[in-house]
Amino acid sequence: MRTTRKRARLALLTILATLLGSAAVVLGSTGTAHAALAGDFVPAETEGSTTASPMFSSATVSQPCPADYRSGLVVLVVIDGSEYSLSGVIRDGAPYDEPFTFSITTGDRSLKSRLDARSAGDGTYEIRVRCWPDTGVAVDAAQHFAFQVQVSGESWTLVREEPEETQVALSVEPAGHSVIAKEATLTATVTPAAAEGHVRFQFGAQVVAAAVPVTNGTATTTYTAPENPTTGEFRAVFTPSDPGAYGAATSDPVPYAVVDETSVTVRDEDENVLPEESVLEAGQSLLVSAEGFYRNEAVRITLADSEAAFPEATADGSGAVNLHRIGLPGDLADGDHTLRVTGATSGITIGYPFTIGEGNGTEGGQNEGSTEGETEGSTEGETEGGENEGSTEGETEGGEAQGSTEGDSGGGLGGAAGALGGVSGGDTGLSGGSASGGPTPHGGGGPLANTGADIMGFAFLGLLMAGAGVVLVVRARRLNRPLLSFGTARQG
């Protein structure tokens, strides 16, 4: 009988020792030397009362519990380096082999009861959720996730860790400006590159792209310029996928302009358009119009090879300069020059090439020659032009007739043609493919300088033809030959 009682007492002591050991783990132990597992432990409430039981209703953990520690959970508070339980072992939802959310049973211990028991007051305390070991595995104080709370009186507040700062840089290609209706490429670069999220691109108040995903630290989109010139600023706004890990960021503004295609038009005082490569005069007054600049920017006009100063212009709301008056320098040397029209802000430059003087060639005709003209001839009056060539003897080479003024070979119309061919060039200077002779009255070459010379030439030609007719009549009478025959019948 006594042996039986001794055995019963021994068994009871063994059970009590086991229970006390477990309670020691749950109710109070040291373990603050172990860092928390990687992962976020976030309560459903971010603030509350220390008298509430439970302290918070539920919480989410972003990582699974380690292998061999997935059978349950225990919520603890660390006070003066020791752990004290705020819950019993939680097994609802086990095994915790993936990210999980758990709830605490109503009626578990309050945070205030644990603090009062240790005479602990206001301050920062660590709340832990420990992953409970599977059967046959020892408790490991390192197997836990944690967050911090700030206690003040009977209130607690979640201490948020500052998220890592991020930066976003924005670039635009082409830089500075683009032409109406053309595309530009926007690129946002997020630092650190590990920060995940999306970027919103804006041009002024216009949203270009609402949410472009960030891949390897970069987000890219395109912007199609409007049909009319405008100016504004691009911005890129980064929003992190995990605000607790990374902060939001906004890029510096990037000023940008949409402009017309560049063009320049130069006119004279009468507003006649002077095409590029025109021959101008030193000191000439010009009216300059140009397009393709930023709205309302200053526009400077310069000479590429001169320090001459011209009045500054101002582009209008469409980026254009209209009929801006300038005067070329009076001492501008002969040769080729370039007028430059440049936007002071944009740097956009348009060139207008022109020439002062004759430049490298002769303007105003298709013929080149010297003061002697293009024609070749002598005072004897050689004729090269049309189909006839002759001399003072009246030789004719060309057409269908050849003869002389004596009429010893051709006679008739051939003699007349010879007479015409033998006219001396004299001083008339017919040129440009009509007849060649001595120097013109003005010593010029190419086409006649005035229409009066043409009239004189035709009048002189008419006199020659009349003279030839007289010669034919006289010769016919001397030879007793009729000029015209109508086929009179022969007698007998």
Topology agreement, domain 167-259 and domain 265-356? yes
User: Contact 187/175 with Cβ under 8 angstroms?
Assistant: no
Measured torsion, CA atoms of residues 17, 20, 22, 26, in degrees rounded to the nearest 10: -170
Tokens of 194: 């590990």
Residue 281 tokens, joined: 């005069």
| Whole-number pLDDT of residue 394 | 38
Give the pLDDT confidence score for residue 375 in this predicted structure.
39
Q: Which residues contact 405 (CB under 8 A, 6 or more apart)?
A: 393, 394, 415, 418, 419, 422, 471
CA distance 467 to 457: 16
Judged against a pLDDT cut of 90, whether residue 224 lies above it is answered with yes
**What pLDDT score was predicted for residue 7?**
54
Which CATH superfamily groups domain 265-356?
Macroglobulin (MG2) domain (2.60.40.1930)
Domain range 167-259, its CATH number among 3.40.190.10, 2.60.40.10, 2.60.40.420, 3.90.1150.10: 2.60.40.10
Q: Where are the domains of the chain?
A: 25-159, 167-259, 265-356, 373-485
For residue 447, cis peptide bond before it (omega within 30 degrees of 0): no
Architecture of domain 25-159: Sandwich (2.60)
Given a cut of 90, whether residue 433 has pLDDT beyond it is no
pLDDT at 482: 57
pLDDT of residue 5: 55
Q: Which of 9-18, 26-35, 189-198, 360-369 has the highest mean pLDDT?
A: 189-198
**Nearest residue to 431 via CA among 372, 379, 391:** 372
Write out 265-299 in H/E/C secondary structure: EEECCCCCECCCCEEECCCCEEEEEEECCCCCCEE
Interval 28-83: pLDDT, tens? 444 445 678 988 899 999 999 999 999 999 999 999 999 999 999 999 999 998 99
> In this predicted model, what pLDDT tens digit does every residue of 352-385 receive, in sequence order?
999 998 755 433 333 343 333 343 434 343 434 3
The helix (H) or strand (E) run that includes residue 364 is none
Band (pLDDT 50/70/90 cuts) for residue 466 is low
Answer with the residue of higher pLDDT: 336 or 393: 336
Q: What is the mean pLDDT of residues 328-355?
A: 96
What does the pLDDT read at residue 309?
86
Bigger pLDDT: 83 or 458?
83
